[in-house]
Amino acid sequence: MIGSVVTRKRWLSSQARALKEMTGLADPEVAMRKLVADLLHEAEQDDAPINLPLVASVRGIVEIRAESIQGSGMLLYTPRGLEILVNSSDALGRRNFSAAHEICHTFFPDHAAHVSGTDHFIGYFSIKLEEEFLCDIGASLMLLPPHLVSAKIGRYGCCLNAVIRLADEFEASIEATAIAWAQASPWQCAVVFFEERLKPSQLKRKNQMAFPSLEDVLPQPELRIAHACASPGFPLFLPKDKSVSREGSIYRCMAEQQTTGPDTLEFHGEEKHIYAESIFAPYRKDSELTRRVVSLIRPA
């Protein structure tokens, strides 16, 4: 799912410019926030979970349907009007995020050009794809309005179960919930998604032919940071693709399903001590299983 909202100094696309002109705001991200907030107000949505079909109807969308499609979601015209298709094989939270993303496409004046196009990687768009990136931001805000998250976050406390309960209450993916939860958190903490994989520099070696004499020297996957959602006061930088120790509680979670305890992360030769609550949460993408651990970490 997309990381914390980043302020851009310079936007290049006509789509970003259109949002600024439409709202009179200088920053397209701020413009997207306003458009989503205004839409939720118009649809009278002020509690979780957000009624996405009702919100979509305000934007002239007649139906949201789950079907077997390639990718995550798409807009299309039908004889009845504009519809949204989401991937029926995705989990509920993922389907809801995809639907909210497609709703956000309708904010752009030329959204008709997007109709019948399939979004394959909703939640993971590069900031270089400005319209898609802005729609990811809007989808997160639509599913998890910051004022509702802030109102509920205190009652659950600072624990990984709080993120999971919040995801259930808002019917959102754990990735989108982790971002919203971390941004609203009054505690020094981060929700981190670790995946077992090679680091980018090792991918080329993996694709080389594995001669029998080379099997022992080929790189092996490690449990690495896929993305991290840190609270504003969190003191550690969590670089993508950083691996964790095989001796720590986070790595053990892949065998034990759930772990709690101290761990360490090494940065530039220096060990940083943390406390981690972790659950094993593997997922399938295009029928391929990825071993994943989701952790709430705090400074020790």
pLDDT over threshold 50, residue 1: no
* Same domain? 202 vs 288: yes
Residue 166 lies in a domain: no
* Same domain? 19 vs 114: yes
Average pLDDT, the chain: 86
Alpha helices in the chain (DSSP H): 14-23, 28-42, 52-58, 92-105, 130-143, 146-156, 160-170, 174-184, 200-206, 249-256
- C-alpha 210/C-alpha 223 separation (Å) is 22
Work out the average pLDDT over 32-57: 96
Listed residues 88, 115, 146: the one ending a domain:
146
* Same domain? 37 vs 136: yes
Q: Are 194 and 250 in contact (CB under 8 A)?
A: yes
CA 275 from chain centre, in angstroms, equals 23
Q: Are 29 and 7 in contact (CB under 8 A)?
A: yes
- C-alpha 192/C-alpha 185 separation (Å) is 14
* Same domain? 19 vs 116: yes
pLDDT in tens, 23-36: 999 999 999 999 99
* Same domain? 108 vs 224: no
* Same domain? 102 vs 194: no
pLDDT over threshold 80, residue 215: no
Residue 24 lies in a domain: yes
- C-alpha 42/C-alpha 103 separation (Å) is 14
Work out the average pLDDT over 126-149: 88
User: Which residue(s) pair with 263 in the sheet?
Assistant: 274
Residue 266 lies in a domain: yes
> Comparing 46-50, 77-81, 170-174, 190-194, which segment has the lowest mean pLDDT?
77-81
3-state secondary structure 250-299: HHHHHHHCEEEEEEEEEECCEEEEEEEEEEECCEEECCEEECEEEEEEEE
Torsion of CA 101, 47, 33, 36, to 10 degrees: 60
pLDDT in tens, 59-114: 999 999 999 988 888 998 888 889 999 999 888 999 999 999 999 999 998 765 55
- C-alpha 69/C-alpha 120 separation (Å) is 10
* Same domain? 88 vs 193: no
Work out the average pLDDT over 227-235: 91
pLDDT over threshold 70, residue 13: yes
Residue 283 lies in a domain: yes
Find tokens 């990718």 and name the residue: 71
* Same domain? 142 vs 18: yes
Work out the average pLDDT over 252-261: 96
pLDDT over threshold 70, residue 126: no
Which residue did the predictor score with more confidence, 129 or 31? 31
Q: What pLDDT does residue 156 have? A: 86
What percentage of the chain reaches a pLDDT higher than 70?
A: 85
- Would you give the DSSP letter of residue 50? P
> Comparing 35-39, 111-115, 154-158, 253-257, which segment has the lowest mean pLDDT?
111-115
Nearest residue to 140 (alpha-carbon basis) of 281, 1, 296? 1
* Same domain? 134 vs 56: yes
Residue 176 lies in a domain: no
- C-alpha 133/C-alpha 127 separation (Å) is 5
Listed residues 146, 162, 197: the one ending a domain:
146
pLDDT over threshold 70, residue 234: yes
- C-alpha 269/C-alpha 106 separation (Å) is 48
The enclosing domain of 132 has a CATH number of 1.10.10.2910
Q: What pLDDT does residue 55 have? A: 98
* Same domain? 98 vs 217: no
Listed residues 92, 119, 146: the one ending a domain:
146
Residue 254 lies in a domain: yes
Burial class (CB in 10 A: 0-12, 13-18, 19+), 230: buried
Name the domain count of the chain.
Answer: 2
The enclosing domain of 204 has a CATH number of 3.30.450.130
pLDDT over threshold 90, residue 175: no
For 24, the domain range is 14-146
Residue 136 lies in a domain: yes
Residue 159 lies in a domain: no
pLDDT over threshold 80, residue 48: yes
Full-model pTM: 0.79
